[in-house]
Structure 1
Amino acid sequence: MIENMDEFKKSPMYSHLNLLPGAISEILVSVRDKGVLTLADRYALMAATMDDSLSEEERTAVNRLLRAVCRGRVRVIEDLSALEE
């Protein structure tokens, strides 16, 4: 469990968390279209929550998505992607 976020941000593991530009909107579109949150999406959201440069709009969108997961409106899957077969 991470008890001190400032210490975590100094760790080598934190330096590997980089949010790609446009990642939040891509995740939102994918979740809206497919109704699932993938493993890759969850890693991107983890990076997003630790990114101090997120806009208020992006932060609100992440919170809205997480609430949808908690309410069961979005299914969480272990696959890396939600590509249709």
Structure 2
Amino acid sequence: MLNQLQLIPGALADIMASVADTQTLTIGDRYGLMAALLDDTLQEDERRAIDRILHAVRRGNVRLHS
């Protein structure tokens, strides 16, 4: 049986605000981003926001926190 991931409504905005405030991406945030990326109904602006977060992680502007 496959488990389905579902993003809680408004969670992506909360993740974006948290990352902007703390400059840290937690494990919970990462699972939220994964669920959002696997969602077929993700809007283009939401996908771009996720891309900006991932780009900030690659550049070292956002730290990964366990």
Name the TM-score class by shorter chain.
over 0.9
Q: Which runs of 5+ in 2 are unaligned?
A: none
After TM superposition, the score normalised by the length of structure 2 is 0.94
Query: Higher helix fraction: Structure 1 or Structure 2?
Result: 2
Amino acid at match of 1:52: D
After TM superposition, the score normalised by the length of structure 1 is 0.74
Of structures 1 and 2, the one with the larger relative CO (CA 8 A, separation 6+) is 2
**Shift >4 Å, 4+ stretches:** none
Q: Which runs of 5+ in 1 are unaligned?
A: 1-10, 79-85
Identity %: 50
What RMSD, in angstroms, separates the aligned Cα atoms of the two structures? 1.0
Q: Distance in 2 between matches of 1:25 and 1:71?
A: 22
Q: Distance in 2 between matches of 1:25 and 1:70?
A: 21
Alignment of 1:9-24 (within 5 A): 12-13=2-3, 15=4, 17-24=5-12
